[in-house]
Homo-oligomer: A and B are copies of this chain.
Amino acid sequence: MGLIVQKFGGSSVKDRDHLFRVARIIANTRLAGNNVVAVVSAQGDTTDTLLEKAAEITQEPSAREMDVLLSTGEQISIALLTMTLNALGCDAISLTGWQAGFHTNCAYTKARIQRLDCKRIAGELAQGRVVVVAGFQGMTQLEDITTLVRGGRDTSAVAIAAALQADRCQIFTDVEGIYTADPRRVPSARKLKEVSFDEMLELASMGSQVLNNRSVELAKKYHVELEVLSSLNPVEGTVVREQAKTMEGTCIKGMTKDTAVAVISILHLQDLAAARTRIFSLLAQNDVHVDMICQAADQGESNQLHFSIAAADKVKTMQLLQQCGVCDGGEILVDDSCAKVSVVGIGLQTNGGIAAKLFEALASHQINVKMVTTSEIKISVMIRKNDVDLAMRAIHDALVAE
């Protein structure tokens, strides 16, 4: 008998019919001989309705009271899902975040789990019950209710799976798994059977909506095997684990794009090394995150610096650079007509053929590459925004769908 943790998002439990669909998935997992802990979010637009009620009263609600308010959303879900499981003849019990043993710090609306005491969950499982836990919430040392930091959407489920050493943590979403590219943009995109934690982290940090980084980091840290699958069509999904067990036909696991970027170019710098240090520490102090960095040589010694930032930081960055004086005598250019396209896969860097194929694919479609960076498992290229869709299809056809 195994132990499976199953996480269901708000759209999966939004009404009676969806609740019954989810309850059948859980009941079937139980009938197959597994213990099950189900972690659920607030129903559909419950959270928005609660946010509206607060907004009617004040634009600056107390963070503590927001957590008292918003945590009711998940509490409603766990009660209804447990009733639904009972209606299907499945013994079940609901637990709020604090009942389930989630101890967090005091950072209301963005709390972090400090300790998870699974005594109650384990006790209920031992009674043969499915345990339905309210995701996204916990309790401080002073017994105040908290909700977890937004990025931590699935962390409750992963934390339970880690604490109970579950055999698998299944994340049910509205997609059937992790795809090599966005199927709406790249017709030849296909679902991956497996992907490693590191690859998933690269994909997630580049804006993939399926899993978020904190959950994947937690799963990697505690060796929790994740599976991403659909609650609407529960066929086999994508497994995320330390090392992919089966080698697939290609080492490329996915592609992403980011169009909200700006490239800053500083030309004719007198002392590049000094300026570079000064510029990057100045930007870091002001919370500007620098992504790609590229130094190009005009002739002989390099005196140009190019780097990319989030488009939202463009104005702030220009002000900082103009005021600090380190670029005096040089020239500062900003280009926000760019977009970044990345491919992710283990062994990309060591497999020289991949980079070559990528550039060949872009060249054959007359796509100019403005910047390039590579890491152990990722190659990113900065291209013109207008070329993004064409580039994604070209790269996918050349590298992924082979």
Q: Which residues of A contact B (CB under 8 A)?
A: 16, 19-20, 50, 53-54, 56-58, 61-62, 64-66, 68-69, 71-72, 75-76, 78-80, 82-84, 86-87, 93-94, 96, 99, 120, 143-145
Contacts and interface: CB of A to CB of B under 8 A. Distances in A.
A61 B83 contact: yes
A16 B79 contact: no
Nearest to A66: B79
B94 A68 contact: yes
Nearest to A54: B83
Given A16-B57, A57-B19, A76 B83 contact: no
Contacts of A84: 57-58
B68 A96 contact: yes
A21 to B, nearest CB: 13
Do most interface residues of chain A lie in helix, strand or loop, or is the interface mixed?
Answer: helix
A129 B56 CA distance: 23
A209 to B, nearest CB: 28
A65 B94 contact: yes
A76 B65 contact: no
A373 to B, nearest CB: 46
A369 to B, nearest CB: 52
A69 B145 CA distance: 17
B65 A83 contact: yes
Contacts of A94: 64-65, 68
Most B CB contacts (10 A, CB to CB) among A20, A76, A99 go to A76
A68 B78 contact: yes
A94 B66 CA distance: 11
A56 B20 CA distance: 11
A61 B143 CA distance: 29
B72 A76 contact: yes
Given A62-B82, A66-B79, 10 more contacts: A19-B57, A53-B80, A62-B83, A65-B79, A65-B82, A68-B75, A68-B78, A69-B83, A71-B75, A75-B75
A273 B72 CA distance: 60
A86 B68 contact: no
A135 to B, nearest CB: 15
14 contacts: A19-B57, A54-B83, A57-B84, A58-B83, A58-B84, A61-B83, A62-B82, A64-B94, A65-B79, A65-B94, A66-B79, A69-B80, A69-B83, A99-B144
B69 A79 contact: yes
Contacts of A69: 75-76, 79-80, 83
Most B CB contacts (10 A, CB to CB) among A19, A58, A65 go to A65
Contacts of A58: 83-84, 86-87
Q: Nearest 6 pairs between A and B by C-beta? A: A69-B79, A72-B72, A68-B79, A58-B87, A16-B56, A65-B79
Nearest to A143: B99
Contacts of A93: 64
A126 to B, nearest CB: 15
Contacts of A87: 57-58
A69 B78 CA distance: 8
A358 to B, nearest CB: 52
A67 to B, nearest CB: 8
Contacts of A16: 53, 56-57
Nearest to A16: B56
Nearest to A132: B65
A64 B85 CA distance: 14
A64 B83 CA distance: 10
A61 to B, nearest CB: 5
A230 to B, nearest CB: 23
Contacts of A80: 53-54, 57, 69
